């Protein structure tokens, strides 16, 4: 147990090669530190912390998947050490500029939350009338809803080869993340049973409470793709229902409240069973009106999406600006 002000620098597992992430932190008070961090004490701990967050660790760390900075390598690191007054001036200037960035990032976070709330209000406002006045039907009565393939099951039949399949990580709230797709050995019958079709509506069985029932539409992004058992797929008659309309209808506050009321919950996670999904009440309206609602939502959400992209760019710029400030500080260019 230590008591005081120290700089902690990661020994292994720290993001040493990511210039935008911190490797060193300032701690104060009574602390206990495990063997995965170096404990440093200097005359000006803040200066050392900032200097170590600017260092290029490429030639100091070893390992591939889990980088390690051992003590001998740590001792070889060279950082500029001007006199104490100059160190204090540099720290003061860094903190002044970082404070301005903190304020900007806080505004970005607030704006991001506003856009998320605005997205929800758009969907709710367009469905409010129909949820109150239209005929309500059970999801399971208008769609074929099925679970997916189970990993580790006993194969019943001759396998035909590895087939791409969607995991929970691939199905996000309103979009698909397909950068990493895994495969599974299947039989011909399993391929027939679990193959996804254009227009299938996908839902995750569980996850964060605020994203319970998250999902999106499958548009045939991968040829011959199936889905895992933790993903439900719903297939509607496109002559009667627009898949996107159904997907948006399951994202209203009323639908999300229903999911939460039926979910099995732990501290931060929740899961939904297929029966509850099938029992969800949805407004049944003419096809033409469904298309109008979808078109209106898509138009309005695309405007928000453009604005959110600008926020993401601004956030990346703020991270780059921090590193630029550190670079100038330790090159003697920060005035």
User: Residue 275's pLDDT is what?
Assistant: 95
Give tens-digit pLDDT for 75-95. 999 999 899 999 999 999 999
**Cα 111 to chain centroid, rounded:** 17
User: Residue 334's pLDDT is what?
Assistant: 77
Q: Element (H or E) spanning 29, and its range?
A: strand 24-31
Q: pTM (2 decimals)? A: 0.70
Give tens-digit pLDDT for 144-173. 999 999 998 888 888 888 999 999 999 998
Q: Which residues contact 322 (CB under 8 A, 6 or more apart)?
A: 20, 98, 101
Give tens-digit pLDDT for 34-68. 888 899 999 999 999 999 999 999 999 998 888 99
User: Residue 65's pLDDT is what?
Assistant: 80
Residue 129: pLDDT band by 50, 70, 90 thresholds? Answer: very high
How far is 84 from 91, CA to CA, in rounded Å?
11
Closest by CA to 308, choosing from 102, 111, 121, 176, is 111
């Amino acid at each position: 147990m230590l008591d005081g002000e120290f700089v902690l620098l990661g020994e292994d597992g720290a993001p040493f090669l990511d210039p935008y992430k911190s490797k060193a932190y300032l701690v104060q008070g009574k602390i206990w530190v495990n063997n995965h961090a170096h404990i440093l004490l200097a005359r000006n701990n803040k200066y050392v912390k900032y200097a170590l967050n600017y260092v290029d660790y490429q030639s100091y760390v070893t390992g591939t998947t889990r980088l390690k900075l051992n003590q001998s390598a740590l001792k070889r690191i060279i950082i500029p050490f001007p006199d104490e007054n100059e160190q204090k001036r540099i720290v003061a200037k860094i903190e002044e500029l970082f404070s301005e960035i903190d304020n900007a990032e806080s505004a970005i976070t607030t704006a991001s939350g506003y856009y998320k709330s605005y997205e929800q209000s758009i969907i709710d406002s367009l469905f409010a009338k129909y949820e109150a006045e239209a005929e309500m039907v059970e999801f399971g009565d208008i769609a074929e809803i099925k679970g997916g393939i189970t990993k580790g099951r006993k194969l019943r039949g001759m396998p035909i080869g590895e087939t791409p399949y969607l995991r929970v990580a691939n199905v996000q709230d309103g979009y698909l993340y397909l950068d990493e797709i895994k495969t599974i050995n299947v039989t011909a019958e399993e391929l027939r049973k679990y193959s996804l079709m254009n227009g299938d509506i996908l839902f995750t069985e569980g996850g964060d409470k605020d994203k319970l029932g998250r999902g999106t539409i499958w548009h045939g992004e991968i040829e011959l793709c199936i889905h895992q058992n933790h993903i439900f797929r719903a297939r509607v008659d496109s002559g009667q229902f627009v898949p996107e309309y159904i997907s948006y209808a399951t994202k209203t506050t009323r639908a999300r409240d229903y999911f939460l009321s039926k979910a099995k919950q732990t501290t931060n996670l929740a899961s939904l069973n297929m029966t509850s999904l099938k029992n969800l009440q949805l407004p049944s309206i003419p096809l033409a009106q469904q298309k109008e609602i979808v078109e209106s939502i898509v138009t309005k959400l695309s405007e928000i999406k453009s604005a959110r992209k600008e926020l993401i760019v601004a956030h990346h710029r703020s991270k780059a600006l921090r590193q630029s400030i550190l670079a100038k500080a330790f090159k003697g260019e920060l005035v």
